C-alpha cells in the first residue's frame, strides 16, 4: 500500500506537470486562431472566453492519455536512473505488482476520459457550435464600418454602409452586391436608403432588411438586367458555419446506439472513436512500463523520442482507421479495434522481454551496493 501511494503520487505529479504544459500550448494556439477569426469579423470577441472554456474539456480527452503515458515514462525512468526501482525490487516488489499498480492508475484516468468522451464532450459540442453559429451570423452587423466596402466570411457578399447608428442597429444608404452560389457570374445588387438587422425566429439566421431601394439582377456585360423597386427587402447574411466532422458527434450515447442498429457506418465510427481514448489511456500506460526501463549509462530521457514516435504512429492510425470506417473501406468489426489490438500485441511482446531486463539490471544493482 505504501509503494502504491508512493508510485501513484509520483506518476500523478508528472502527469499534471505534462498536461498543464500541453494544455497551455494547445489552448494558446486555439486562442490565437479565435482571435484571428474575431479580427477578421467571423466571431464576436465577447464569445471567446466561453469558447475557450468549452474547448478545454474536449482537449483534455486527448491530453490525459498522452500525459499519463509521458508521466509514467518520466517517473519510472527516473526511478531506474536513480536505482530506486531496483531498491524496490530488492524489497520484494515484483513485475506483476508494478503492472497492477500502473493499471490501477490507468483505469482511474480511463474513467475520467470516458466521462469526457462519452457524456460531457458531445453535450458541450452542441453548445459550442450553437455559440459559434450565432456569433458568425451576428458578427457581420457588429463589425460593419462606415464608408468602407466589406466582404462577409463566404466571400459572396459585399457591403457598403454610408452611415450607421452607434448600436449598429440602423443603417443608412446601403449598397449590397451578392453573388449566387451556383451561378458565380450572376449578381444581385441592392441599393437602399436605409435598413436594419433582424433574426429569423425559426432558423435564427440573420437577415439584413433594406428599405426604400432598388434591386438589380443579372450578369455583368449583358443587357437583360432585372430592375425592381421595393419598400422592404430581406437579405440573408451568409455565415461560415462551425466545422463539424459528423452530425453524430453531438448526439447522446443512446441515440448513437439507435443509429448503429440502423447499420449507419458513421455511427459505428463515432461509437468506436468515443471509446478510443479511454482504451488508449490503459494501453499507453502499459506500454510505458517496458519503455521506461533504462540500460546502463542511459539518461532518464533516452526513451522519450522512441516513445513519442510510437505514440505518433498509434494516434495517426486511430484517425486513419476512423476515416476508413466512415468511408466504408473496412468493416466496422475491424475499425479502430484493430489498431488497439496491434498496440496490445506490441505491449505483450515488450512485457515478455521485461523479466530479462529486470534480471540484468538487478544483478548490476547488487554489484553496485556490494
In the DSSP assignment, the letter for residue 233 is E
Predicted pLDDT at 242: 46
Question: Helices (H) and strands (E) in the chain — how many of each?
Answer: 10, 6
Residues ≥6 apart with Cβ < 8 Å to 293: 76, 80, 354, 357, 358, 361
pLDDT at residue 247 is higher than 70: no
User: CA 288, CA 282: separation in Å to the nearest integer?
Assistant: 10
Residues ≥6 apart with Cβ < 8 Å to 134: 204
Grid coordinates in use for 360? 540484468
Instruction: Return the domain boundaries, the chain.
Output: 2-137+245-369, 154-236
- Reported as a single tens digit per residue, the pLDDT across 276-324 is 999 999 999 999 999 988 776 667 677 889 999 999 999 999 999 999 9
Residues ≥6 apart with Cβ < 8 Å to 89: 358, 362, 365
Q: What residue has cell string 454602409?
A: 161
Q: What is the dihedral of CA 33, 37, 40, 42, to 10 degrees?
A: 170
User: CA 32, CA 208: separation in Å to the nearest integer?
Assistant: 30
- Reported as a single tens digit per residue, the pLDDT across 36-82 is 877 766 677 788 899 999 999 999 999 999 999 999 999 998 888 88
Going 102 to 103 to 107 to 108, the CA torsion angle's sign is negative
Grid coordinates in use for 283? 494501453
The residue ranking higher by pLDDT, 87 or 255, is 255
Among candidates 218, 127, 136, which has minimal Cα distance to 178? 218
Among candidates 77, 150, 117, 172, which has minimal Cα distance to 336? 117
In this prediction the pTM is 0.76
User: CA 74, CA 7: separation in Å to the nearest integer?
Assistant: 12
CA Rg value for the chain? 29
- Reported as a single tens digit per residue, the pLDDT across 255-282 is 888 888 888 899 999 999 999 999 999 9
Predicted pLDDT at 358: 54
* 3-state secondary structure (DSSP) of residue 187: strand
Arithmetic mean of pLDDT over the chain: 84
Amino acid at each position: 500500500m505504501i509503494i502504491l501511494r508512493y508510485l501513484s503520487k509520483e506518476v500523478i505529479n508528472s502527469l499534471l506537470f505534462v498536461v498543464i504544459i500541453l494544455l497551455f500550448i494547445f489552448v494558446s494556439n486555439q486562442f490565437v486562431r479565435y482571435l484571428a477569426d474575431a479580427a477578421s469579423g467571423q466571431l464576436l470577441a465577447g464569445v471567446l472566453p466561453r469558447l475557450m472554456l468549452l474547448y478545454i474539456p474536449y482537449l483534455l480527452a486527448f491530453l490525459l492519455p498522452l500525459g499519463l503515458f509521458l508521466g509514467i515514462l518520466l517517473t519510472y525512468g527516473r526511478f531506474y536512473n536513480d536505482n530506486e526501482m531496483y531498491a524496490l525490487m530488492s524489497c520484494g516488489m515484483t513485475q506483476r505488482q508494478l503492472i497492477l499498480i500502473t493499471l490501477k492508475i490507468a483505469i482511474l484516468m480511463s474513467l475520467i476520459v470516458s466521462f469526457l468522451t462519452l457524456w460531457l464532450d458531445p453535450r458541450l459540442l452542441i453548445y459550442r457550435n450553437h455559440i459559434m453559429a450565432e456569433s458568425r451570423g451576428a458578427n457581420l452587423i457588429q463589425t460593419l464600418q462606415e464608408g468602407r466596402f466589406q466582404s462577409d466570411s463566404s466571400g459572396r457578399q459585399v457591403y457598403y454602409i454610408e452611415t450607421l447608428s452607434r448600436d449598429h442597429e440602423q443603417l443608412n444608404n446601403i449598397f449590397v452586391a451578392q453573388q449566387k452560389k451556383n451561378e458565380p457570374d450572376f449578381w444581385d445588387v441592392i441599393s437602399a436608403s436605409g435598413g436594419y438587422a433582424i433574426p429569423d425566429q425559426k432558423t435564427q439566421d440573420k437577415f439584413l432588411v433594406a428599405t426604400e431601394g432598388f434591386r438589380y439582377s443579372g450578369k455583368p456585360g449583358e443587357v437583360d438586367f432585372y430592375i425592381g423597386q421595393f419598400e422592404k427587402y430581406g437579405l440573408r447574411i451568409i455565415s461560415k458555419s462551425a466545422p463539424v466532422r459528423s452530425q453524430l458527434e453531438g448526439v447522446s450515447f443512446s441515440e448513437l446506439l439507435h443509429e448503429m442498429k440502423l447499420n449507419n457506418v458513421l455511427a459505428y465510427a463515432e461509437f468506436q472513436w468515443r471509446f478510443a481514448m479511454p482504451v488508449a489511456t490503459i494501453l499507453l500506460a502499459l506500454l510505458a512500463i517496458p519503455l521506461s526501463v533504462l540500460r546502463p549509462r542511459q539518461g532518464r530521457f533516452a526513451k522519450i523520442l522512441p516513445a513519442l514516435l510510437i505514440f505518433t504512429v498509434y494516434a495517426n492510425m486511430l484517425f486513419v482507421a476512423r476515416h476508413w470506417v466512415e468511408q466504408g473501406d473496412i468493416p466496422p468489426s475491424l475499425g479502430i479495434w484493430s489498431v488497439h489490438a496491434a498496440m496490445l500485441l506490441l505491449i505483450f511482446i515488450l512485457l515478455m522481454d521485461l523479466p530479462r531486463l529486470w534480471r540484468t539490471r538487478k544483478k548490476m544493482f547488487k554489484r553496485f551496493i556490494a
